[in-house]
Amino acid sequence: MLPARELIGCCAVSVDLVLDKLLATCQRWDAIVVFDDAHILLEKYDYLGAERNNLVATVSRHLESFRGIIFLTCNTIQVFEEAYQSRIDFVQKFEKPDRKGKSIILERAIRRVTGQDLWKTEAFSDKDYGKLVENNLSGRDVERAVELALSLAEARKEALGVRHLRDVMDMQEKFRCDFGRKDYRDYFS
């Protein structure tokens, strides 16, 4: 997996060398490449500086010449250079999970962050999961909330419980309200 964020701030020559080596190795192994947060490096040329335009051109050249499968993940396609549309073979859009989906994500995230240390967690009922996911958080936000809630519980020397998750989710909601947004989607529009 290649996180695009790690390439920001690098000059086009450095990125060229990194991609040469990485993609050659992937091609030799017949590996699938995952280019995470690709929108960062595949932005439209018109509002970028010269160095950023060089970086985008370098990445584009490598993506076009790679003979294999590349998955590009992105949060928004509105900033993609239009020329890429003809080069993309398959698109899968993921909607925000519904309440049931968020409950499953929450339950799995709790199991993942606590591992086998079940003593770190209070018992959660289906009703608890349902109430915790009433807000408009994305799956990623739910995961982050669980990690922060566990840190909060550990700092208080307590087992992770509903109150920790509620405290974190309330802080997230207050953050949105403080910035005049009712929903994270408003932030990206």
Which is it for the CA torsion 77, 185, 172, 135, positive or negative? negative
Average pLDDT over residues 67-76: 85
Give pLDDT tens digits for 112-170. 887 766 556 777 888 888 888 887 777 778 888 899 999 999 899 998 889 999 899 88
Measure the CA–CA gap between 55 and 50, rounded to whole angstroms: 9
The tokens for 37 are 């947060």
Q: Kindly state which CATH superfamily the domain 2-87 is placed in.
A: P-loop containing nucleotide triphosphate hydrolases (3.40.50.300)
The C-alpha atoms of residue 110 and residue 88 are separated, in whole angstroms, by: 36
User: What percent of the chain has pLDDT above 90?
Assistant: 13
In the predicted structure, residue 183 carries a pLDDT above the cut 60: no
Mean pLDDT of the chain: 79
pLDDT band at 185; cut points 50, 70, 90 = very low
Predicted confidence band of residue 26 (pLDDT cuts 50, 70, 90):
very high
Give the pLDDT band of residue 187 (cuts 50, 70, 90).
very low
Residue 35, H or E segment: strand 33-36
- The pLDDT of residue 45 is above 80: no
Residue of higher predicted confidence among 49 and 18: 18
E strand or H helix at 148: helix 139-155
Domain-by-domain residue ranges, the chain?
A: 2-87, 99-188
What is the distance between the alpha carbons of residues 36 and 156, in angstroms, rounded to a whole number?
35
